[in-house]
Amino acid sequence: MNNLESTHHFLIANTWIIWIVLAPLVGALINTGLFFSQNTLTQSQKQKISAIIACTAAGMAFLISFFLFWHMHSQTIFVQTLFTWINSSVFKVRFALNVDSLSSIMIVFITFVAFCIHVYSSGYMDHDEGFIRYFIFLNLFLSSMALLILSSNLLLMFIGWEGVGICSYLLISFWYQDPKNVQAGEKAILLNRIGDVGFLLGLIVVFSTIHSFNFIDLEAHRHLFSPGLLTFVDLCFFWGATAKSAQIPLYVWLPDAMAGPTPVSALIHAATMVTAGVYLLVRLNILYFLSPEASCVIAITGVLTAFFAATVATVQNDMKKILAYSTISQLGYMMLAVGVGDYASGIFHLISHGFFKACLFLSAGAVMHLLMQEQDIRKMGGLLKTFPLTALVFLVSGLALAGFPPFSGFFSKDAILWGAFSHPNPLIPWLPTALYTMGLITAFLTAFYISRMIILIFWGEYRGNALNHTHSLPWVMSVPMVILAIGSLIVGWIGIPKAIGGKDWINHFLHSTFFLIPRFTTNQDHLQVVLMLISTLVSASGIILAWIRYVRYPKTRLENQPQGFLKLLDHKYYIDEFYQKTIGRCTSWVAGWISEWGIENQILGRLVDNIALFFEKLSKGYQKIQSGLVRNYLFYMILGAAVFFIVFVCNH
Amino acid sequence: MIRYSAFFPELVLAITAILIIGLDLIFKKSKTKQSFLNWVSFSGVLFSIAIVCFDGNILSTSFHQFLVTDPLAVFGKIIILVSALLTLLMTFRYFKSNTTEHQAEFLVIILFATIGASALTSAQEIITLYVALETLTISSYILAAYMKRDAGSNEAGMKYLLLGAFSSAVLLFGFSYLYGATATTNILKMNERLMTEPLNALIVLGIIFVIAGLSFKISLAPFHMWTPDVYEGAPTPVTAYLSVASKAAGFIAFIRIFLVALNTPALVHIWGGLFAVLAALSIVIGNLSAIPQKNIKRMMAYSSVAQAGYIIIGLLVNNQLGLTAMLFYLFVYLFANMGAFLAIVIVSSQINSEQIDDFSGLWKRSPLISMALLIFMLSLAGVPPFAGFTGKWYLFGAAIQNGYLWLGLLGMIFSVISLYYYLQIVRRTLVLDSPENKPISISVIEKTALIICMLVTIVLGFYATPLMHVIHRTVGSFMN
């Protein structure tokens, strides 16, 4: 009976997977129709309808995902093959979706956060002219993201990958009237294109080696890759991931991406899209497990990104910029987890980070919404009394980010730090200790910068002049914030380690996806407890330092121009300037050279012109034959037939 | 006993046509009557499509196997009937701005032409085939010349009649040689006899005449000279009909005669090469001549010459892959070309011009039509991800796999060149501006038809599996 029932669920699940992708797509299409429709509805009625449609679509996607997740057991894999998408003799790609433990937990997390943010947006974007357009893009994004997560092969995943990229671009440049926003969008898409080259290169090498894009075939035929080739493929995909997940050296687009509406930053540039790179690497876990060299590169890049982004975040004054650098830093942690081979912890941190960072962005958005779009934390302060709910939500998610127990960030970050410390490295014996130390310093910086931000926003005296226009938060905004705040508190409990009496549920749950990777066990539970205590202390000391610095002596800290090293941090290590001066200059020099030395005009231009001229002459010449006279037409017809016959007679 | 089952779709059309003549005589002339008659013709064609769809799975023959309803016939009938349906839709719009006192007869003649085209697809015997073809062609002469107070229409009708009569005579002459060589008019038997018959010059002469006569119908160069003049002068719905329904019927006739009757190793050797030359000539001449055109219908005429060149590639490779590609492309071409003409009729009847220049600034006046034209033009040019790309990919792939590498490459190069003139329309509609910004009105049913054409053109580019399934079955039943 039980077996029968599960088969029944299995069948239902298999036919419903596609609707996770389709529901938001249909929502986007309906809203597009609404956008272009010219009927008697007023603008505000249209807005209401479009918001309901978009939220329903996201909600449906979540319900289906939840259903799948609920029926997910250790060895279950739901597969839905819709059709053969490309079919030629050498090249066969199925449009198939695949739900295993990894993608089920990812999709349920993503659709849930997306649903919350859809609801939040309907309040945040109220009175915006592009309201309907906004929801079209948001739904389209969710659809692409679902495709990215659920696809059963790399090529289909690439479509989702590009889809989220284009939606990210559209939403960064959402307020296109300001050239700055458009440039930010362009920067994002340009840097992502650089990453796409890596992804495509990886695709090509994988296909030419195993003649398939399917993840299953990839696992089965992993021995076909020689070690060198494997490292190359791994680094190609990592190259793609550095752009999407904002890692050194391609992270520079993410801070600028904050030009988009704040809920977009929460959904796309914190919780979901930017984690796609991490997801890709975790999906290909076996390829990374087999290449310690590539893993080393990833771990080192990850920890460096985490560290550098955290240092920059400590001196920024723009609320969203701080959160952006914080996101880069946290993504670095996830990459570190992937690099040391602790894939489950990477996903664990991805999910808990998604909750608390989305929550932080939404609270920041609420503050901006209430303060006439003010983003500079120097012009805030003392808002605790004015916005108690927002302050509470901010505090909960902030503590989660700071990694303070028992908030979610503590468990997930600690899982990564423990993973980095305990997994021995076959190439560089001292690397685990170094990674752990860097990670710990970053944790300290994280606690510091988020405490600084919360203190400057909510404690002390109000330093701005926008407060007299405030109004209350609508429920559509406050409810999602509270839900996500609860999530930031409790989501971490799914991974309480065994060392302190937990069940480490997520590790067990994901194990079926990582079945090829030998289970890593240690019997150093005491050491793990000690390290957890150290993390707690480090986090607490970061908070205390911020307290001393900004509550005790606030004035001088805010008004002084940063000097020395702080100035370097304030300018984000001059990385943007460096890119501009090197790559930007080189490119424009080459482009200038090409146009100045006449390669374009004299050689290419003439070539193109002459080809066009040739065909134009040919076509003009032919026009003379088309005389309009029936006798000529008849003549050519007979001539044609006659020539054919003569040719035949001559041949035989 | 005579069986009629294979003739039902045509029978429905004939009854509808006679009904319209009768109703037209009974009722007094009024606007209501006209729209009523429009709907009668429309539902007649719809009913005929329904019969083909639901009854088409049964292999049936009528009139001593003169007519046969096999999967190929069903496929052809669907293309022809759908394009007839869209032509009727254009007619309703066209007569809003171009009035003539005999609107009902126009519908009737379209139906008669469709009977001919539809019967042609199931003709299993060359006399039947010829009669069906003439039913189609003679109706087309009348349709082309229908606007009798318009000099252009008259000229078109006259030229079409003179050249068409000549080509029909050539075709019949060719058939007579084939009959002389095989002593049968049945297509299947003709194939059997030709297998054993030694090759002689008279058979070859017959084949060349048949090619010349039929190439005229689908306007393959150098037998295409009538196309631009007739397409330009004829009423626009007729142009659309000629460019899709009439051609589809011609292609099915080509398939029946060449892939069945004349499909012997010795003969394939001859006509394969001839068709390669015809395809190449059509692709080159059609694409080059389309470039300098100012009139949109004339441009579409040359475009259709080039498109015929692409499609015939599927025939000349003489295998399953080629036929699959050919049928797929015909289906795609139906929606892209009919959609484009529908858009052109809607716009040109309201701006009173057929000059490409006057399409400037259309995006302001009708975003939907501008979008539709963009999609149809890109599909006709073969730009991914639209269906036209997939179709050309199959066609050129078939050419390359069967040793016609040069033809595949030529097709690709000229597809690139064709982008120039297709995008000229897109550039005017979407990029350029015009002082005029009065909205173009569009009825609900026209909008629906345009959107369906657009959706088919987009979806088939991504997801062709169901259609390919049907085509594989059709091809499988036809060639082994």
CB–CB contact A637 B222 (8 Å): yes
DSSP state of A71: T
Among B28, B20, B3, CA closest to B109: B20
**Token pair for residue B18?**
């006679």
Output the pLDDT for position B1: 45
Nearest CA in chain A to B220: A637
- Collapsed DSSP state (helix, strand, coil) of residue A433: helix
**B chain contacts of residue A88, beta-carbon cutoff 8 Å:** 397
| Per-residue confidence band for A568, with pLDDT thresholds at 50, 70 and 90 | confident
DSSP state of A153: B
**B chain contacts of residue A620, beta-carbon cutoff 8 Å:** 292
Calculate the alpha carbon distances from A5 to A1, A8, A69 in Å.
6, 5, 16
Among B218, B241, B252, CA closest to B71: B252
Nearest CA in chain B to A622: B289
Output the pLDDT for position A1: 36
Among B288, B302, B390, B440, most A C-beta atoms within 10 A, so best to mutate, is B288
| Nearest Cβ partner for B367 among A36, A83, A644 | A36
Calculate the alpha carbon distances from A147 to A116, A207, B137, B375 in Å.
20, 20, 51, 25
Output the pLDDT for position A514: 85
| Per-residue confidence band for A630, with pLDDT thresholds at 50, 70 and 90 | confident
| Nearest Cβ partner for A645 among B199, B205, B222 | B205
Average pLDDT of chain B to the nearest whole number: 90
- Are residues A221 and A210 in contact, defined by beta-carbon separation less than 8 angstroms? yes
Tell me how far apart the alpha carbons of residues A23 and B420 are, in angstroms, rounded to a whole number. 39
Query: What string of H, E and C letters represents the secondary structure of chain B?
Result: CCCCHHHHHHHHHHHHHHHHHHHHHHCCCCHHHHHHHHHHHHHHHHHHHHHHHHHCCCCEEECCCCEEECHHHHHHHHHHHHHHHHHHHHHHHHHHHCCCCCHHHHHHHHHHHHHHHHHHHHECEHHHHHHHHHHHHHHHHHHHCCCCCCHHHHHHHHHHHHHHHHHHHHHHHHHHHHHHHHCCCEHHHHHHHHHHCCCCHHHHHHHHHHHHHHHHHHCCCCCCCHHHHHHHHCCHHHHHHHHHHHHHHHHHHHHHHHHHHCCCHHHHHHHHHHHHHHHHHHHHHHHHHHCCCCEHHHHHHHHHHHHHHHHHHHHHCCCHHHHHHHHHHHHHHHHHHHHHHHHHHHHHHHHCCCEHHHHCCHHHHCHHHHHHHHHHHHHHHCCCCCHHHHHHHHHHHHHHHCCCHHHHHHHHHHHHHHHHHHHHHHHHHHHCCCCCCCCCCCCHHHHHHHHHHHHHHHHHHHCCHHHHHHHHHHHHHHCC
- Are residues A27 and A56 in contact, defined by beta-carbon separation less than 8 angstroms? yes
Q: Tell me the pLDDT tens digit for each residue of B77-126.
A: 999 999 999 999 999 888 887 777 788 889 999 999 999 999 999 998 99
CB–CB contact A630 B159 (8 Å): yes
pLDDT of residue A555 exceeding 80: no
Q: Count the neighbouring beta carbons within 10 Å of the beta carbon of residue A75.
A: 10
Instruction: Looking at the complex, report in whole angstroms how far the Cα of residue B99 sits from the nearest Cα belonging to chain A.
Output: 27
Beta strand segments in A25-148, E: 78-87, 92-99
Tell me how far apart the alpha carbons of residues B378 and B386 are, in angstroms, rounded to a whole number. 7
Q: Does A623 touch chain B (CB under 8 A)?
A: yes
Interface of B with A in 460-479 (CB under 8 A): 462-463, 465
Among A171, A167, A169, CA closest to A121: A171
- Are residues A334 and A302 in contact, defined by beta-carbon separation less than 8 angstroms? yes
Output the pLDDT for position A352: 94
Helix axes B103-122, B31-55, angle to 10 degrees: 10
Q: What is the pTM of this model?
A: 0.79
DSSP state of A41: -
**A chain contacts of residue B204, beta-carbon cutoff 8 Å:** 645, 648
Among A39, A155, A626, A631, most B C-beta atoms within 10 A, so best to mutate, is A626
Contacts of A436 (CB under 8 A, 6+ apart): A417, A420, A421
- Are residues A257 and A265 in contact, defined by beta-carbon separation less than 8 angstroms? yes
Q: Does B291 touch chain A (CB under 8 A)?
A: yes
Output the pLDDT for position B57: 60
Q: Does A588 touch chain B (CB under 8 A)?
A: no
| Nearest Cβ partner for B222 among A623, A636, A648 | A636
pLDDT of residue A528 exceeding 80: yes
pLDDT of residue A10 exceeding 60: no
- Mean pLDDT value across residues A155-176: 93
Q: Tell me the pLDDT tens digit for each residue of A256-285.
A: 999 889 999 999 999 899 999 999 999 999
CB–CB contact A641 B208 (8 Å): yes
**Token pair for residue B454?**
């657009």
Instruction: Looking at the complex, report in whole angstroms how far the Cα of residue A206 sits from the nearest Cα belonging to chain B.
Output: 23
**B chain contacts of residue A619, beta-carbon cutoff 8 Å:** 288-289, 291-292
Output the pLDDT for position A74: 62
**A chain contacts of residue B174, beta-carbon cutoff 8 Å:** none
Among B65, B211, B213, CA closest to B137: B213
Q: Which residue has the tokens 């007649």?
A: B44
Q: Does A648 touch chain B (CB under 8 A)?
A: yes
**A chain contacts of residue B209, beta-carbon cutoff 8 Å:** 641
| Nearest Cβ partner for B212 among A88, A628, A640 | A640
CB–CB contact B285 A639 (8 Å): no
What is the count of residue pairs from A and B with beta carbons less than 8 Å apart?
A: 72
Contacts of B84 (CB under 8 A, 6+ apart): B45, B110, B111, B113, B114, B117, B241, B245
How many alpha carbons fall within 13 Å on the CB side of residue B186? 10
CB–CB contact B289 A619 (8 Å): yes
Q: Does A626 touch chain B (CB under 8 A)?
A: yes
* CA triple A311-A317-A322, angle to 5 deg: 50
Among B218, B475, B447, B210, CA closest to B325: B475
Q: Does B212 touch chain A (CB under 8 A)?
A: yes
Helix axes A408-422, A525-547, angle to 10 degrees: 130
pLDDT of residue A507 exceeding 90: no
**A chain contacts of residue B166, beta-carbon cutoff 8 Å:** 634, 637
Q: Tell me the pLDDT tens digit for each residue of A66-100.
A: 988 888 776 677 888 888 877 776 778 888 898 88
- Mean pLDDT value across residues A442-462: 91
% of chain A residues with pLDDT over 90 = 51
| Nearest Cβ partner for A633 among B163, B285, B397 | B163
Regarding predicted confidence, which is higher, A77 or A107? A107
| Nearest Cβ partner for B292 among A88, A619, A641 | A619
Q: Does A644 touch chain B (CB under 8 A)?
A: yes
Average pLDDT of chain A to the nearest whole number: 88
| Range among B100-104, B279-283, B429-433 with highest mean pLDDT value | B279-283
**B chain contacts of residue A618, beta-carbon cutoff 8 Å:** 288
**B chain contacts of residue A648, beta-carbon cutoff 8 Å:** 201, 204, 208, 270
Nearest CA in chain B to A630: B159
Q: Which amino acid is at B329?
A: Y
- Are residues B376 and B343 in contact, defined by beta-carbon separation less than 8 angstroms? yes
| Nearest Cβ partner for A640 among B204, B223, B289 | B223
Strands A92-99 vs B60-62: parallel, antiparallel or unpaired: unpaired
Q: What are φ and ψ of residue A80, in 5° steps?
A: -125, 115
CB–CB contact B292 A616 (8 Å): yes
Output the pLDDT for position B79: 95
Nearest CA in chain A to B208: A641
Q: Does A523 touch chain B (CB under 8 A)?
A: no
Quote the ipTM score: 0.84
CB–CB contact B225 A636 (8 Å): yes
Calculate the alpha carbon distances from B480 to B125, B186, B259, B389, B467 in Å.
21, 20, 11, 27, 20
Q: Does A615 touch chain B (CB under 8 A)?
A: yes
- Collapsed DSSP state (helix, strand, coil) of residue A290: coil
- Mean pLDDT value across residues A486-506: 87
- Mean pLDDT value across residues B281-285: 93
Instruction: Looking at the complex, report in whole angstroms how far the Cα of residue A614 sits from the nearest Cα belonging to chain B.
Output: 11
Tell me how far apart the alpha carbons of residues B295 and B357 are, in angstroms, rounded to a whole number. 9
% of chain B residues with pLDDT over 70 = 98
**B chain contacts of residue A83, beta-carbon cutoff 8 Å:** 463, 465
Among A153, A108, A98, CA closest to A272: A108
CB–CB contact B208 A645 (8 Å): yes
Q: Does A88 touch chain B (CB under 8 A)?
A: yes
Nearest CA in chain A to B171: A641
| Per-residue confidence band for B58, with pLDDT thresholds at 50, 70 and 90 | low
Output the pLDDT for position A9: 54
| Per-residue confidence band for A615, with pLDDT thresholds at 50, 70 and 90 | confident
Q: What are φ and ψ of residue A98, in 5° steps?
A: -145, 125
Q: Count the neighbouring beta carbons within 10 Å of the beta carbon of residue B477.
A: 12
Tell me how far apart the alpha carbons of residues A192 and A182 are, in angstroms, rounded to a whole number. 15
CB–CB contact B163 A619 (8 Å): no
Output the pLDDT for position A2: 45
Nearest CA in chain A to B233: A628
